Structure 1
């Protein structure tokens, strides 16, 4: 379903197929402690693993990995993955490189671009995501672009000895069409 690896241009960001040329940005992203907390990532990958990961993203037709670029600088990634072709649904995840790019609208625009692509060029009906309750900034952005909260997974993340809930959100094709 994601054999086409498009470049999507917005006013402030361009989404392009993630590749080896974005590895330094990915390494910065996955090295940021705030990004680890916001994504609930306990694991770490080394530079060689990051290079290998981005070198192979274009080969996968069951997922779409896009680098978020602003002024030709890597500022994050947005990914459609966990494709369920029987139910025409997938997961979405997005991560920005850190506090220096937060609050500039990059995430909102990237989400709008990828949702527009998904709902106009594929048969997808539903796109879902999970976000931790402490990540109010992300929850606000997801709601702003049309995601609806569906439920809460209690105590889904243990971080620094404390438990945190995760909120499942989704957007359906008809909801996106009504907003467009």
Structure 2
């Protein structure tokens, strides 16, 4: 069973490992390489941003991923969402689905929002299946939005509304 904890500076080593994994970089469209110092500086910046909530996904004492509720818009009651598992050996075991469900609970119950939106690339069918399983609906496609290794991929926009979450 996973635990969700507020993201801390000590979680950044796991964050860095995820950015070094070629498959995870491909699935997330990450192109830049980072140092631990850069990741820690990023953490310092985001920890001061009150329009976002960042969480570590933990399995006992091990950080296996993270998710963010970002660009919290209290006027329109909406938020953006992103998630990443940091270790490919944790894929396909239900950890991502459980974390997405917890992110939705936080967004709709704790933050009292109405809409959660995400973007996912079409070359990440596992993630798309997870999002659909927990209630996200495809709203649109940004065609050929990213070019990785000379191949264009679509970016899919998905969302879930509070009324859909309650079902």
Shorter-chain TM-score range: over 0.9
Deviations 1:17-61 (A, max 9, x none): 111111111111111111111111112221101122234544322
2:70 aligned with 1:52: no
Q: Is the 8 A contact 1:128 1:169 kept in 2?
A: yes
2:147 aligned with 1:158: yes
User: What is aligned with 2:30?
Assistant: 41
Question: Which SS does the other structure have where 2:164 is aligned?
Answer: helix
Using the alignment, how far apart are the partners of 1:34 and 1:43 within structure 2? Answer: 14
Using the alignment, how far apart are the partners of 1:14 and 1:153 within structure 2? Answer: 34
Using the alignment, how far apart are the partners of 1:123 and 1:99 within structure 2? Answer: 33
Residue among 116, 124, 139 paired with 1:127: 116
Over aligned residues, Cα RMSD in angstroms?
A: 1.2
Deviations 1:63-120 (A, max 9, x none): 0000100121010101001222221111100001131111111100001111112111
Using the alignment, how far apart are the partners of 1:118 and 1:83 within structure 2? Answer: 9
How is 1:1-180 mapped onto 2 (pairs within 5 angstroms)? 12-178=1-167
Using the alignment, how far apart are the partners of 1:153 and 1:88 within structure 2? Answer: 24
Using the alignment, how far apart are the partners of 2:23 and 2:136 within structure 1? Answer: 23
Question: Which SS does the other structure have where 1:87 is aligned?
Answer: coil
| TM-score when normalising by structure 2 | 0.95
Using the alignment, how far apart are the partners of 2:57 and 2:138 within structure 1? Answer: 25
User: What is aligned with 1:4?
Assistant: none
Question: Which SS does the other structure have where 2:113 is aligned?
Answer: coil
In structure 2, the gaps of 5 or more residues are: none
Deviations 1:137-166 (A, max 9, x none): 000000000000111110001000010011
Using the alignment, how far apart are the partners of 1:56 and 1:110 within structure 2? Answer: 24
